[in-house]
Structure 1
Amino acid sequence: MKSTQKEDEFSGEKKEEEDCSTFSDGNSDQPFILPGVPLNLLHMGGMIPGHCLPITCGSSNQTNTETNSTPTTEIYKRNCLCTHTQKQFVSGVIITIAMGAVWVGFTHFGKNTYTDSFSAPLVVVYFYTSWMVVFYPVYITIAYIVARGSVELKQLCRESIMIYKEEEFKPLRFSVRTIIFCFVWTIGNYSYIRALRLLGAMDVIALYATNQSFVYMLSWIVLFEKFIAIRILAMIFSITGIVLFAYADGFGSPNMWGVVLAVTSASAASVYRVLFKKFIGEEASLGKVSVFLSLIGFGNLLCLWPFIILFYLTKTETVDWSVLPWTPLCASAVLATVHQFLSNYSGVITFSIFLEMGLLFGIPLCAIADLVWRNAQFPGMKVSAAVLIEIGLLLIVLPEGWHTYVMRLCRCLRQEPNPVTSAGSNELPRPSRFEWRNTTY
């Protein structure tokens, strides 16, 4: 009788150990189990999918399922755990580096368009914006090929044309909104290219990166988004960086107008993004985004050429049509198109936070490029300004409550395992005084 009882206890302990080491594959809805770790300590606020969340083994409110898998299957499942999430993170890191490098290349080639016989930022904007017309034709062709004739071409076009948040198509309202987007796009890009004539590439990129702070401020005012106190601190850092750049270039000097143009570009970019969120939405389909980008390209292609002629006749811009800088023009157009593709289409394979961190990587990369290829010198004031803008950009990009999750994770890593709990006790460890509000028993 005693031997039978001991065997039952031993089999129960062995069964519990097997349950605690059970992992599910990436396609299952069952979470994997990590023994001795409460749920509220490692939950990263939506950054980790539900099938990758750890839950406590041995709790009285939790039922563990038995598995009859072989040891080889268990090893395979552990190695394949969170494969989809890992792919998203790896893809996000690659896209962040690519977006930063592409934007740096676009900025440097845009600066190289200025020569003795060519100084026409509006022509540069007109040239690379016209390339955006190809987005929707390429998308509709690929979508029709992938559908293999199961969806008619008219239906694909009909689903994509309603790009704005409206129940029915009204041509006048549609045209007015498109013209507004084209105007804001042109102002922002023209100011950016114009600023490159007066300032270095790193200065312009750093000043342009403050648009994230302006986006948050406008979203809070116009879209009534949630107020987050730490992002106000990010805005203070960004504004301080702008003032330091202006002070380093000298108030009243020609270079200060470059700072004004770069900040104007950042402001126009923030208005563009807020209008996009208000009228189109961040959950727009790829078809609608493709139509929108092609409309921006077509609108600028149709409306900007009279202003190019006007600027040329009034000597506002210098253009020698026989000696155009085709290499930097084409290179900037290609890189601008690639950047639009990465920023608008990469959200389907990675987290949105990585799409906003391109400039965070681009600022130091551009500084290195300036040092290597342009022999630029950065005074301490500009370095301090760039660091402040980087900190402000980081505080804006990080998700809400990130500091809370980092503190909890650090406390979890420092916490020593309780031998009583490890022995199989069903009682959860008592929380600290800092997390009693978020813990339920």
Structure 2
Amino acid sequence: MNKLTAKVSPSPSTVAPAVLSPPDPSDDTTREGGAMAEMAGWEGDGGAGCCKHCPLVGIRRVAWGVVLGGAVALAWTASTHSAKLVLHRLHAPFFITWFCSTWNLLFFPLYYLGHLIRADQRQCPVTLFRQCSEPLREGEVPLRVLLRGSAPFSVLWSLSWYLYLLALCRISTSDASTVLCCSQAFTFLLSWIGLRDRFMGVRIVAVILSITGIVMMAYADGFHSDSITGVALGVGSACTSALYKVLLKRRVGEVCPGAASVLLSCVGLCSCSLHSWLCVLLYLTHVEYWPFSQPMPWDMLCVLAVLLLAFNVLVNLGGVLTYPSFISLGVLLSVPASTAVDLYLTGTSQLSQVRLAAAGIIGTGYLLLLLPEHWDDSALRWLGGLWHGDWNEDSMAGEEISIEGGASTRPKPKPTSVAALA
């Protein structure tokens, strides 16, 4: 008698845009399915079916993951250090935030450029824009309603980057990057409380480790230093970023990379039109003032804006080419990269042991958050099969689940789906 077989189809839900932070690791399985659907749409319907079952597709996506993960780490490290250099020349964090946020207008044009390069059946920009904005609009609504719905996300986006720039004025780039990695822990807490997500003990442990690392980082230089204020501002930036993602998931759900490009373009348009008056108000009140005789560092501002745009493009659209876990690991790798650049620029040969311990604790919590949702079930089933000695045949065959969402065979049907152990 033939064994029962079960097929696992790709999940229809997809990736949500991130703001100055990695994608939510709790949704890696969902996002990978959406990324495969998006890639299949770009490559055309003809080659999608045969490419799904080709083993070279997984190897290619892993190779892309290594490249894009390194690119994410380099982009975030370079943008953080460029922001610190710009702040030395121009102490106007809100103006820098406004200038960099307006560059988000280029998200959809860049997405459309990728569509022209990869798609077999090319569409006009207006048609593709309407198609990508359907998950955001939830029906036939005018563009002004879409812009009005994007205004809260624009405020959270600008506030997160503004607090991060204020933190860079008081702490080093490596400390700021380390604290920002705690955004994933805050995202899990808000999703668990507000969205009733599944409770996971390992992620509670990750949250405790992240909070412990934050406390150690704050008091690394003593009680009477700027480290406490800088770390507090960094925590505020991480919380705002987490609130952005949870609010997006609550109002819209999971959106594909095309919808993410539309949303971020609307965020850039809202920042350009709504926040410009606040820049003028801060200048007239001399809160952020620079004399006309002082040359503006437009070259450094443009370099910073390009680096931030590249980082956010890789984070939000990189799931089309690779698995989101590689993007998340790339953000974590930006912490040692920033530390190495700080050591090179400052010329110091020793690191604070408290900071190293805090960074290690936060990094451990970050890695725990990358575990899939049902990793414990998969581990227990694999260990059970190994204990009974039949793991070579039935257990391994039962646990083989394609990452792209292809078919998988099991000796017995299970009531719940189990994610593969990473």
Measured against the shorter chain, the TM-score band is 0.7 to 0.9
What is the rounded CA distance, in whole Å, between the counterparts of 1:181 and 1:270 in structure 2?
12
SS of the aligned residue for 1:315 comes to coil
Q: Give the structure 2 partner of residue 182 of structure 1.
A: 154
Gaps of 5+ in 1: 1-44, 50-79, 422-426, 430-437
Alpha carbons 2:97, 2:162 under 8 Å: kept: yes
CA 1:199–1:150: 2 relative to 1, 3 Å: closer
Q: Give the structure 2 partner of residue 169 of structure 1.
A: 141
Amino acid across the alignment from 2:213? G
CA 1:130–1:87: 2 relative to 1, 3 Å: same
Q: Give the structure 1 partner of residue 247 of structure 2.
A: 275
CA 1:165–1:279: 2 relative to 1, 3 Å: farther
Alpha carbons 1:105, 1:335 under 8 Å: kept: yes
Q: Give the structure 2 partner of residue 391 of structure 1.
A: 364
**Aligned pair 1:303/2:242, yes or no?**
no
Asked which structure has the greater RCO (Cα within 8 Å, sep 6+), the reply is 2
CA 1:403–1:320: 2 relative to 1, 3 Å: farther
Q: Give the structure 2 partner of residue 106 of structure 1.
A: 79
Alpha carbons 1:165, 1:279 under 8 Å: kept: no
CA 1:439–1:249: 2 relative to 1, 3 Å: farther
Out of 346, 351, 370, the position equivalent to 2:318 is 346
**Aligned pair 1:250/2:222, yes or no?**
yes
Q: How does 1:193-208 map to 2 (within 5 A)?
A: 193-208=165-180
Deviation at residue 202 of structure 1 after TM alignment:
0.4
What is the rounded CA distance, in whole Å, between the counterparts of 1:126 and 1:197 in structure 2?
17
- 1:128-184, CA deviations, whole angstroms, 9 ceiling, x for partnerless residues? 211111222343465468668864554333223334262342667544421110110
Alpha carbons 1:181, 1:296 under 8 Å: kept: yes
**Aligned pair 1:85/2:61, yes or no?**
no
What is the rounded CA distance, in whole Å, between the counterparts of 1:126 and 1:281 in structure 2?
27
Amino acid across the alignment from 2:285? T
- 1:100-141, CA deviations, whole angstroms, 9 ceiling, x for partnerless residues? 1110111000001122x5211112111221111122234346
Deviation at residue 270 of structure 1 after TM alignment:
0.5
What is the rounded CA distance, in whole Å, between the counterparts of 1:343 and 1:104 in structure 2?
14
Amino acid across the alignment from 2:266? L
Give the TM-score normalised by structure 1. Answer: 0.71
Amino acid across the alignment from 1:378? L
Equivalenced residues, count: 350
Q: Give the structure 1 partner of residue 400 of structure 2.
A: none
What is the rounded CA distance, in whole Å, between the counterparts of 2:394 and 2:81 in structure 1?
58
RMSD across aligned C-alpha pairs, in angstroms?
3.3
Q: Give the structure 1 partner of residue 20 of structure 2.
A: none
- 1:296-345, CA deviations, whole angstroms, 9 ceiling, x for partnerless residues? 11111112222222222333224345322334322211110101111111
Alpha carbons 2:257, 2:320 under 8 Å: kept: no
Alpha carbons 1:353, 1:398 under 8 Å: kept: no
Q: How does 1:59-70 map to 2 (within 5 A)?
A: none
Q: How does 1:21-420 map to 2 (within 5 A)?
A: 82-115=55-88, 118-140=90-112, 143=115, 151=123, 153-164=125-136, 166-169=138-141, 174-286=146-258, 288-321=259-292, 322-375=294-347, 378-402=351-375, 405=378
SS of the aligned residue for 1:317 comes to coil
Amino acid across the alignment from 1:293? L
Amino acid across the alignment from 2:365? G
Alpha carbons 1:130, 1:298 under 8 Å: kept: yes
Amino acid across the alignment from 2:94? L
What is the rounded CA distance, in whole Å, between the counterparts of 2:112 and 2:30 in structure 1?
33
Deviation at residue 96 of structure 1 after TM alignment:
1.4
CA 1:184–1:155: 2 relative to 1, 3 Å: same
CA 1:151–1:304: 2 relative to 1, 3 Å: closer
SS of the aligned residue for 1:249 comes to coil
- 1:244-284, CA deviations, whole angstroms, 9 ceiling, x for partnerless residues? 11111333533311111100100011011112222333342
What is the rounded CA distance, in whole Å, between the counterparts of 1:367 and 1:399 in structure 2?
29
What is the rounded CA distance, in whole Å, between the counterparts of 2:361 and 2:179 in structure 1?
11
Amino acid across the alignment from 2:361? L
Deviation at residue 214 of structure 1 after TM alignment:
0.6
CA 1:404–1:367: 2 relative to 1, 3 Å: farther
What is the rounded CA distance, in whole Å, between the counterparts of 2:352 and 2:290 in structure 1?
34
What is the rounded CA distance, in whole Å, between the counterparts of 2:379 and 2:264 in structure 1?
38
Moved more, 301-310 or 315-324: 315-324
Amino acid across the alignment from 2:252? I
SS of the aligned residue for 1:214 comes to helix
Q: Which has the larger radius of gyration?
A: 1
Amino acid across the alignment from 2:310? V
Gaps of 5+ in 2: 1-28, 34-52, 396-409, 414-422
What is the rounded CA distance, in whole Å, between the counterparts of 1:406 and 1:327 in structure 2?
52
Amino acid across the alignment from 2:170? L
SS of the aligned residue for 2:136 comes to coil
Alpha carbons 2:163, 2:237 under 8 Å: kept: yes
Amino acid across the alignment from 1:306? W
Deviation at residue 369 of structure 1 after TM alignment:
1.1
Amino acid across the alignment from 1:391? T
Alpha carbons 2:257, 2:317 under 8 Å: kept: no
What is the rounded CA distance, in whole Å, between the counterparts of 1:167 and 1:252 in structure 2?
55
Alpha carbons 2:135, 2:255 under 8 Å: kept: no
Moved more, 120-129 or 404-413: 404-413
Deviation at residue 241 of structure 1 after TM alignment:
0.7
Amino acid across the alignment from 1:114? L
